[in-house]
Structure 1
């Protein structure tokens, strides 16, 4: 994985300037769009396609707070998503089960109000997690940040399932 912050010339921090990221993405996408290389050599066309794919992947990673944090950790030599990091607190696992049950029940009963309440709760939990993650990364508490990334993956997954149910 290349260093995506360097590609977009953005400071490697969790709390990045999203407007600057958007602008850099648009600029690079336009500059390296494969259509601009239609009359170029085969080699240059392939390079443009590869560069375009890299730009899109870098943007996807940096745009998503959990992926961005995982990338920052990767820059420190830490793979937050490594299989050996699967331990979670009992409280966290219990909360996950309760949310899953609430989601299944609300879907079964087609209870839109319950789905909306659950979405608000999950969104609030994500916001709190992002604040804690920002602080852990600023303090170079890599292990805490890695744990929060793993928890964030769970929250993102249930958030996606909720979005699909709504």
Structure 2
């Protein structure tokens, strides 16, 4: 399951520098770009296309902290996104409701400043969550990491909705 990490020659870990991921991706993408195999056999061309697709999937997974965390958990046999994992702590549920209300207020009023303020607040919350994820993985707290992944998915979705609501 750690094949994406192996492909990028990285240790299977949560705390990985995004610049390292970017540089490795650019290097591998240039090396395996399908255009480089235009004169090759059809088998080699097909292999190059498959490798490019795998590289793109690996990049998207590894560059996103939440997707990277979920991928690491899957390698441990834990599906953080499984449907049976829908519960959140009461405090997080209350916070969700407050954020949703702020989003709806900003959207209905067309209040760009309020939406930008909310986005900044959620971005700060994401940074805290990423730090918590790093600690959870460092201390091998897989259940906590799974819960944080689910919270992170909510934060990602909320930020997408905020961006969609902005003029």
Counterparts of 1:99 and 1:4, CA distance in 2: 34
Aligned to 1:44: 44
TM-score of the two chains, using structure 2 as the length reference: 0.95
> Aligned residues, how many?
166
Aligned-pair distance for 1:165? 2.0
Aligned-pair distance for 1:17? 2.2
Runs of 4+ residues deviating >2 angstroms: none
Aligned to 2:157: 157
1:33 paired to 2:33: yes
Aligned to 1:92: 92
Unaligned runs of at least 5 residues, structure 2: none
Counterparts of 2:103 and 2:83, CA distance in 1: 27
Counterparts of 1:63 and 1:18, CA distance in 2: 6
Unaligned runs of at least 5 residues, structure 1: none
Counterparts of 1:16 and 1:33, CA distance in 2: 25
Counterparts of 2:6 and 2:14, CA distance in 1: 14
TM-score of the two chains, using structure 1 as the length reference: 0.96
Aligned-pair distance for 1:90? 1.9
1:26-55, CA deviations, whole angstroms, 9 ceiling, x for partnerless residues?
Answer: 111011111111111111111111000000
Aligned-pair distance for 1:68? 0.5
